Amino acid sequence: VPPNSIIETSHAWRSFCDLSPHALTLFLVMPKEPVIRLSEAEDSGECLLGHLMTVGKKRAAHLGPTNGFRMVVDEGPEGGQPVCRVHLRILGDRQLGWPPG
């Protein structure tokens, strides 16, 4: 992660701007614990993964998507996981369609 893209960091996670954004507001929250895929997270990771969603919500409130946002976790190659590490993507500031992709 380039240092100039880091938004905030803690002992358990870091949030940073996406290097190739797909929305006006797009940032990621990634745990520092090396969880490769959501499907590989143990029950002990439940608290950490829930905490990522809380951090994402707080960062979204601070960074400004005012009419809503979307949180996404990609799983594996067919699920569009671009890096081999669990991360939460927060998108906002434009109308997002459904279904995605």
Cβ within 8 Å of residue 67, ≥6 positions away? 92, 93
Is 87 an active-site residue?
yes
Of the listed 11, 22, 51, 87, which one is catalytic? 87
* Residues annotated as catalytic (active site), given as ranges: 87
